[in-house]
Amino acid sequence: MKTRQKRIALIGLQILQSVNNLVNAAIARHAEEKGRWHFVFSAEPTVESFRFLRTLDCDGAIVRIVSTAMLREAKKIRFPLVNVSSWLEHPGVPTVRHDFETIGRIAAEHLLEKGYRRFGCVIEQGGWFIEQRYRTFVQTIGAHGCKPAVFTARSSQPLSAPDLARFVAWVRTLRPPAALLLTDDWDAPKLLDGCRTAGFEIPRDLVVISTGMHSEVLSLCQPALSAAQEDQETLGDMAVKALDELMAGRPLDQPILNVPPLGVVERESTATFAIEDKEVAHAVEFIRAHAGEPINVCNVVDRAGISRVTLERRFRQITRLSLHAYLVQQRIRLVQERLLQTPPPSLQTIALQSGFPDRRRLNQVFRHATGKSPAAWRQANLAGAKTF
């Protein structure tokens, strides 16, 4: 006997128009592979959309609730629904969202592993999740005896001119080498410009990392901004599974399911270490400056002016990497930055611009380092736009 298709509504996920992010893609894949979901309604997240949803004959819905007014209407809906928005700290309905505590922690760990012990934090106006990311970041560095200097924006995004002037004056008080956390990244291009206005070179004097992940902003950042990477695909998969459980009459074990992040995606803004050792610092700077050229470890040793054995030992003590591993890491970073260009250069061009002899060698090294082909990595990172 053929199983009846489930009638599914979507609010805030425009899957009937286009699959433009990994959450939508996961939902579409489930419908195609399982063959049991039929989408009957799709709309923007508005109070009116939720009111109309109450009149439909549906088996379930996946929605984004981005206001208390929408939540009031959502609670009146009689069929099961799953919320995939993070706007409300206490949504009151089954919700799948990102694990903001872990996002703050891994950002701190990324900087601590690089040897940083002087920190600054920029707290912007925004949702509860900004405070949660900041709080976990502070707790993590606090366990290592560190306490950050804090700048709190007075204006809502975008950052006002007076706030930006205050930021420039504040950031000048940080003593290099230091690390700066952005609790959100809508204003990241302005803040990075402010760091340069204050006289800092990024990442030599000041490394910068964000716990927000607005992919549409990253291309505007100079240098490219490192950030904690949310796992959009898993969020979509978990939302689908949660709705299936609810439609089958089985309550969820927890009303809120948190999706751990994938990790930190390192870009140029944190592509160095807190280094007091002069020769190691020279080696790091030389590799960063010339990673896109056909250099090798011997060239780096010549630049440092000490024996290879001594440099390798001291380099590994500080960075926990060999000279060769760090050179490869920087080349992979260059490849990733070029893959995110629109449109991206050819793979052969990227290879030659990133220190690889050809596209075949690039493919081999990239797969080993990331677990994905360049094309798959680009697709995942372009599709992983932040959605609340």
Q: Are 43 and 13 in contact (CB under 8 A)?
A: no
In a domain, 60, yes or no: yes
| pTM beyond cutoff 0.85 | no
pLDDT at residue number 19: 44
Query: Which has the higher per-residue pLDDT, 46 or 34?
Result: 46
For residue 361, how many other CB atoms are within 10 A of its CB? Answer: 12
In a domain, 248, yes or no: no
Strands (E), the chain: 6-11, 37-43, 60-63, 81-83, 95-98, 119-123, 149-152, 178-182, 206-210, 226-229, 256-259, 263-265
Ordered DSSP codes for 79-128: S-EEE---S-SS-SS-EEEE-HHHHHHHHHHHHHHTT---EEEEE-S--H
Give per-residue pLDDT as tens, 111-152. 999 999 999 999 988 889 999 999 999 999 999 999 999 999
For residue 359, how many other CB atoms are within 10 A of its CB? Answer: 17
Domain boundary residue among 72, 93, 114?
93
In the chain, what is the straight-line distance between the N-terminal and C-terminal CA atoms, in Å? 40
pLDDT at residue number 18: 46
Which CATH number covers residue 299?
Answer: 1.10.10.60
pLDDT at residue number 383: 52
Give per-residue pLDDT as tens, 54-99. 999 999 999 999 999 999 999 999 999 999 999 999 999 999 999 9
pLDDT at residue number 16: 47
Domain boundary residue among 39, 62, 93?
93
In a domain, 253, yes or no: no
Give per-residue pLDDT as tens, 322-339. 999 999 999 998 998 898
- 105 and 215 co-located in one domain: yes
Query: Which has the higher per-residue pLDDT, 51 or 29?
Result: 51
Average pLDDT of the residues in 288-309: 92
- 147 and 59 co-located in one domain: no
- Provide the pLDDT confidence category of residue 17 given band limits of 50, 70 and 90: very low
- 43 and 111 co-located in one domain: no
Residue type, 213: M
Planar angle of CA 372, 378, 380, nearest 5 degrees: 75
Residue type, 261: P
In a domain, 211, yes or no: yes
In a domain, 301, yes or no: yes
- 287 and 334 co-located in one domain: yes
Rg (C-alpha) for the chain, rounded Å, is 23
- Our count of domains for the chain comes to 3
Least confident of 25-29, 46-50, 264-268, 345-349: 25-29
- 294 and 185 co-located in one domain: no
Least confident of 175-184, 295-304, 326-335, 379-388: 379-388
Which CATH number covers residue 160?
Answer: 3.40.50.2300
pLDDT at residue number 385: 46
Could you tell me the residue range of the domain that residue 164 belongs to?
Answer: 100-230+265-270
Average pLDDT of the residues in 208-231: 82
